[in-house]
Amino acid sequence: MKTMTCRQLGGPCDLAHHGKTADEVIVAQDQHLKDAETAGDATHQEAREAMKGRWKRPKKSLDWYFGVKRTFAELPED
C-alpha cells in the first residue's frame, strides 16, 4: 500500500489517498474531486475541471498519467 495526496495529484489539499496501485490512487482522487465539487468546495473546482478535460488532449493526459505512475512507483510502502 502506498499513499499520495490530493496535492501530489494536482489538487489543492493534502488529503491522503491510499492504494496498492497508482490506478487505485487516481480513482480515489477522481472521487475526492467529484465529492468536493458536489459539496460546493470551490478550491477543488480547478483540479476537477482539469481531471475532466484531461482526456480531451491524449498526449498531455498520458504525460500526466505516466508521471503519476512513476511518482507512485518511487514511493515507499506504507
Question: How remote is the C-alpha of 61 from its chain's centroid?
Answer: 12
Give pLDDT tens digits for 27-49.
999 999 999 999 999 999 888 88
State the CB neighbour count (10 A cutoff) for residue 75.
Answer: 13
Q: Residue 26 belongs to what domain range? A: 2-74
Is the pLDDT confidence value at 12 over 80? Answer: yes
Check: CB of residue 58 under 8 Å from CB of residue 35. no
Q: What domain count does the chain have? A: 1
**Is the pLDDT reported for residue 7 higher than 90?**
yes
Dmax (CA) for the chain in angstroms is 34
